[in-house]
A and B are shown apart, each in its own frame.
Chain A
């Protein structure tokens, strides 16, 4: 089986999320990559070095510069004549593009796979990860998104993929990119951070959220996450949200501070290796899954912890 993996990138460098999708693809069949973008040759070269990849298709066109789904899906559909499976990381880009491809191919997509179980058979989480379904596709071609935390990352060196320029559909021209407002941060990205400190509603304000969590994150070289309640209240930007409907993370260590542990939050972090919970309520549900718990007031504990680390 020949797979086509969507490379996640910003036209300059490849994003790590791609690497887990490559690993999943290698369990399904031959791995070919697609770099769709504008002035993205450097990404193609990076992608070609990923261990185990065959061809790297590079589609360099202004139409793909901002990964508009109408354009990229049209391109992918054209390339799928020669591939059996389209595989995208379950990033916001992957989630935006893959279902569009699936519908155009008349294929039922399998979202967010956790494992490859055999020919066209996969596991995936449903009900906020409270159940794991084993599903088998009856479609001729496959369209899949891959949960980044469920697969090891492919090595970024050692491959010698063959770069090939491709072109294809550019969509219906009915959508246009207007602007982007990306948070700039020197901190590790949530989906690749090895430590995450995450704050909840208990912080009470944007100021205390940052005054308390930023120094702790600096000490631990950690990414900063948040519960939905903290994001809704404006303490943290939307892309900090961890959970069923936010980001799915599985770092070496996840510290949930002033977070109660609603099932929607747990869905996004319960596969972390070590979970630390700090909460003033000793019965908070977060303690039921935490490896290390500390009951107390975060306003006292967090500064003390930062100082003593």
Chain B
């Protein structure tokens, strides 16, 4: 069985994003970029399934600029077998990403597609669900535990009130949550080896998908800034304050 793992290049989670003063977006020039943390979890899960003998090949795919190659190389260094870059400098919304991934899935016929639950830049939390809908396949979002069998996968999901378990027929789409696993770091020898692993470059046009955005972003602004208040000396002072505010 093959696993397809879509990975996105995003601003590093340690960087505090700065809004451009002209309101056109977030300043990404000279900012550290990394693999979306949820996608590291996806890659890790695929590798563990391969190590357990349940998956034969892991294909990482990214939609984005030429630099997204670096993100794919990271996936290869972690343990993915080959990679596909669908190169574009345009803004690609989740619906268009899902349409492209659908085409890749038609070619590759993976049993399992593992995405992140959300990308930490646009926080859309859509792509996996959209892909599942377009393919008319079942989805297991916000996965906390994944158990793969030959024709089904059982997914324990993180939901508002606790956990829910669903069983899905393969092929199925999974989106990862934080507790699924702790991703490994790529070792230096593996980083070197990854340079020789196959990486195909395609364009959205190769797949015949129209990626024109449906949404127009008319402005991007800073949220209201919160000012620091005051520090109190001791618990008594805190209690007085809380009482004054009617909280206690």
A residues sitting closer than 8 Å to B (CB atoms) are 66, 68-70, 73, 91-93, 95-104, 106-112, 121, 125-139, 172, 174-183, 191, 195, 219-220, 228, 231-232, 237-239, 241, 244-245, 247, 252-253, 263-264, 270, 274-276, 282, 287-295, 301, 304-305, 308-309
Q: Does B231 contact A (CB under 8 A)?
A: yes
Q: Does B163 lie within 8 Å of A181, measured CB to CB?
A: yes
Q: Does B126 lie within 8 Å of A99, measured CB to CB?
A: yes
Q: Does A112 lie within 8 Å of B123, measured CB to CB?
A: yes
Interface residues on B, range: 35 or more
Q: How far is the CB of B120 from chain A (nearest CB, A)?
A: 7
Known: A96-B141, A134-B218, A137-B214. A127 touches B123 (CB 8 A): yes
B208 proximity list for chain A (CB < 8 A):
none
Known: A181-B163, A289-B226. A127 touches B11 (CB 8 A): yes
Known: A111-B125, A175-B169, A244-B123. A182 touches B214 (CB 8 A): no
- Stretch with Cβ within 8 A of A (4 or more), from B51-59, B130-138, B184-192: B130-138
Q: Of all chain B residues, which has the CB nearest A173?
A: B169
Chain A CB within 10 A, most for which of B13, B19, B129: B129
Chain B CB within 10 A, most for which of A134, A174, A219: A174
Q: How far is the CB of B218 from chain A (nearest CB, A)?
A: 5
Q: Of all chain B residues, which has the CB nearest A101?
A: B133
Q: Does B139 lie within 8 Å of A126, measured CB to CB?
A: no
CA distance in complex: A99, B123 (Å): 13
B239 proximity list for chain A (CB < 8 A):
305, 308-309
- How many pairs, one residue from A and one from B, have CB atoms within 8 Å of each other in the complex? 261
Q: Does B162 lie within 8 Å of A180, measured CB to CB?
A: yes
Q: Does B214 lie within 8 Å of A274, measured CB to CB?
A: no
Q: Does B1 contact A (CB under 8 A)?
A: no
B residues sitting closer than 8 Å to A (CB atoms) are 11, 13, 16-17, 19, 25-26, 38, 93-95, 98, 117-118, 120-134, 136-142, 144, 154, 157-169, 172, 177-179, 213-223, 226, 228-232, 234-239, 241-242, 245, 247-248
Q: How far is the CB of B144 from chain A (nearest CB, A)?
A: 7
Given A96, A125, A294, which contacts B235 in the complex, CB threshold below 8 Å? A294
Q: How far is the CB of B244 from chain A (nearest CB, A)?
A: 10
